[in-house]
């Protein structure tokens, strides 16, 4: 299993909307590195859902429900999307401030390449996010 982080502005598409929808196509990615990350996702992979811009926190855990396929919102170019489904909300969202100061998490692409909307996580980073989200240090 692989682990990922997907970012969305809550005003554009929030965790609550994903939960309400039950599943969504993760469309609109127009960065080649992020697109390649989408293409590397496998069904069942865990995806941490991050609210960017206003909230700046990891708020939920989703999974890849369908592997990559052509992005139907792309009018030109070779773009892809995946389907995501919610798994569970995080009881204690993990803030960007916490991520930046945590020994394990400060090396996440979220910190190093903050403009990428879809990034890989290591197994250790995923485990640390889950531990912090459970309220443990």
Structure pTM?
0.96
Reported confidence tier of residue 137, pLDDT bands at 50, 70, 90: confident
The pLDDT of residue 12 is 95
Query: For the segment 74-106, what is each residue's pLDDT rounded down to a tens digit?
Result: 999 999 999 999 999 999 999 999 999 999 999
Per-residue pLDDT tens digits for 36-66 = 999 999 999 999 999 999 999 999 999 999 9
Domain 3-132 has CATH 1.10.2020.10: no
The predicted structure's pLDDT at residue 56: 96
Is 128 a residue whose pLDDT tops 90? yes
62, 8 in Cβ contact below 8 A? no
Laid out side by side, the sheet with 24-26 consists of 24-26, 80-95, 57-70, 46-51, 3-8, 118-121
């Amino acid at each position: 299993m692989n682990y990922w982080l997907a970012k969305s502005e809550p005003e554009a598409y929030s965790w609550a909307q994903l939960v309400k929808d039950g599943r969504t196509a993760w469309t609109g990615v127009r960065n080649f590195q992020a697109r390649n990350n989408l293409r590397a996702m496998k069904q069942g992979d865990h995806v941490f859902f991050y609210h960017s811009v206003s909230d700046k926190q990891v708020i939920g855990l989703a999974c890849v429900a369908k592997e990559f396929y052509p992005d139907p919102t792309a009018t030109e170019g070779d773009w892809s999307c995946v389907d995501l489904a919610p798994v569970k909300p995080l009881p204690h969202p993990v803030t960007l401030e916490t991520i930046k100061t945590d020994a394990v998490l400060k090396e996440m692409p979220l910190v190093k390449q903050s403009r990428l909307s879809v990034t890989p996580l290591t197994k250790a980073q995923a485990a640390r996010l889950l531990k912090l989200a459970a309220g443990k240090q």
